[in-house]
Amino acid sequence: MILNELNESQKKAVLSTEGPLLIVAGAGAGKTKTMVHRIAHIVSTGISADKILAVTFTNKAAKEMRERSIDLLRKSHLSTDGYPFISTFHSLGVFLLRKFGAYGSKVKNFTILDDSDTTTLIKESLQSMGLDPKTNEPRALKSIISRCANALQNPEDLMSESNPTYRLAGRVWQTYKNNKEKQQALDFDDLLLQTIDMLDNNKEVLSWCQDAWHYVHIDEYQDTNEVQYRIAKALAGTRKNLCVVGDSDQSIYSWRGANIKNILEFEKDYPEAEVVLLEENYRSTKTVISAANEVIKQNNHRQPKNLFTNKHEGEPISLYGAYDETDEARFVVERCIERMDQGIKTEDIAVLFRANFQSRILEEAFLSYNIPYQVLGVRFFERKEIKDVISYLRASLNPESKLDIKRIINTPARGIGKVTINKIFEEGKESLSGKALIATQNFYDLLLKIKDYIENHNASEILKFVISETGLEQSLKDSDEEKIENLKELVTLGIRYDHLEGKIGIEKLIEEATLMSDQDNMESKEEKLPGIKLMTVHASKGLEFNTVFITGLEHGLFPHERGERLTGADAEEERRLMYVAVTRAREKLYLTYTSIRTIFGSRDIRLPSEFLSDIPDELITRESREGEAGFTVYL
């Protein structure tokens, strides 16, 4: 049963269980299916399922792989005394650091900082150094610090740089590091950095990991950075049962530190490695696949492969040259209406763009035509009322979490002003008196009450308790029904964690909420509702739709240029991004560009993207809006 419905290349990958294995999986080639069947096959040879580790990049991908693995193991009547450990890199780091302790094994009950928490703490670090966050942008400093941390540099390295911005970033980084440790907090980068530090310097932990997991799988290997690469290598150890799956043609995250060399040089790291190519695409029509192959073959730094499909030829690719962005947006909406009239659901249509600013005019067009749409961007867990509940939970579990306490100590209002808050953190609660002391003590008593409740209740009950007991529900009752609905949705989400013991369940919910990625946003309540999806090409990776529009295909926009013509690695990454965009489409692909576009208030003449000339004319049909309702003749 395990080998049923697999093609020959997939079978080869599944049956190759010992030693290093590189699976080069083209877009839509069934890589998750292959990994799931490989896991089941290993178990069928007598290996306990809990000896298998699989690591990927998003909660959504990990959840899908976990559910499909367990389902296949059960259907194959294989032992399920234990299950494979399937998680994201960051969740694996959380697991190991909670088990063995962060900050040199001293702290197990740490707080995980999300992106906005990190920015806030860097801002506070600047202020404590007597620097103005308005002239020293915290987000820019955060970006520098993160990039250098993932390159395994330290604050001292930055402080010795000749560039004054980097020297400043090094000083801020050192203060920021100290503040995190005082608050027993870790940011996203720390979850990986402290994990590799532990594996490198603690032989007992490394031995435990290598004994726990004899077979290691890494998904989306082309997206690994230096730290993730070293974690994978350490876990594989001397057994070298390391299976990596990925596609150099879909490496689009160098700006996050991803290093395409990790996949391109896998055979140099492991000369004995077996390599399997998965080239049969099960997603897209022959027309879409042909276009994708023509675009990507222009790149030099890649593992040669040629996608093919046994699906039908499909509709030709539609190309529309718009006058300006308004004309382009109207074309997109009108063709969306045509697809909807043909029976395509709105949620199976996506409009992709290279830069976020492009969404505004598209949104206006969808609104004017009264067509439902959704812009991927604001995540469920980034809403204020949701973050407030999460902060109450985090502060009750970790009273050292200054960021969380500052956020909620007067939310809802309980008469604790900024002066009192500053006094608490500078001089301690003991320095207060009168009403301020009573209000503050009541708040800390509330945190203890929540902590006690967490010990003996499941996740959904805990969430209900926090929403009610803190007064959040009452404070929103008469003013904001939408926020109340969001809090109810949070409780519904909590039911997923009710099978875990109270504290473990709520810690898992907090962890997954904090580590939520762009693509995990598709799991939120709104994303299940009807609506055409508007998103950047980066956010579309891993997703697929019946109909896809790729907009703004103009020189300087897509491929994107930052002041000068792209060359080398940057140019190749832009082409990979186009390849990703094209391969999101199952049936119908639309490509659009404009002759004039307003950018930063200036109307510029535009030239069509070089990517358009890569696609053979026989695959393309040129479209026109002339004579259609709403068409304007521009003179």
Residues that are catalytic: 31-32, 219-220, 250, 584
Residues 150, 435: Cα–Cα separation, whole Å: 47
Give dist(CA 402, CA 395) in Å, integer.
8
Residue type, 331: F
Whole-angstrom distance, CA of residue 374 vs CA of residue 244:
34
Side chain identity at residue 287, one-letter code: T
Which letter does DSSP use for residue 526 in this model?
Answer: G
Count CB-CB contacts under 10 A for residue 18.
12
Q: Are 163 and 194 in contact (CB under 8 A)?
A: no
Tell me the sheet residues that pair with 563.
Answer: none
| Of residues 338, 367, 335, 327, the one with CA closest to residue 351 | 335
What's the chain's length in residues? 635
Q: Which residues pair with 185 in a beta bridge?
A: 111
Tokens of 136: 């020293």
Q: Which phi and psi angles does 345 have, rounded to 5°?
A: -70, 145
Residues 459 and 500 sit within 8 Å (Cβ to Cβ): yes
User: How does strand 349-353 pair with strand 532-536?
Assistant: parallel
Token pair of 585 as six digits? 């489409």
Alpha carbons 541 and 584: distance in angstroms, whole number: 8
Q: Which amino acid is at 599?
A: I
- 302 DSSP assignment: S
Instruction: Report the Cα 506 to chain-centroid distance in Å.
Output: 21
User: Which one, of 194, 254, 189, lies nearest residue 223 by Cα?
Assistant: 254
Spatial neighbors of 424 by CB under 8 A, at least 6 apart, are: 409, 431, 432, 440
Q: How far is CA 254 from CA 240, 250, 542, 593, in A?
A: 27, 11, 17, 26
Q: Give Cα separations from 162 to 110, 158, 168, 449 (angstroms).
A: 35, 9, 11, 52
With beta carbons less than 8 A apart as the criterion, state whether 595 and 323 touch: yes
Is the torsion defined by CA of 495, 500, 505, 508 positive or negative?
Answer: negative
> CA 174, CA 163: separation in Å to the nearest integer?
17
167-184 burial, b for 16+ CB within 10 Å, e for fewer? ebbbbbbbbbbebbbebb
Which alpha helices (DSSP H) does 254-379 contain, by range? 261-264, 266-269, 286-296, 325-341, 359-368
Residue of 623, 617, 541 lying closest to 290 (CA atoms): 617
- Residue 160 burial (C-beta neighbours within 10 Å; 0-12, 13-18, 19+): exposed
Q: Specify whether the backbone of 535 is left (phi greater than 0), alpha (psi in -120 to 50) or beta.
A: beta
**Largest separation between any pair of C-alpha atoms in the chain:** 81
Give the position of tokens 């030239």: 607
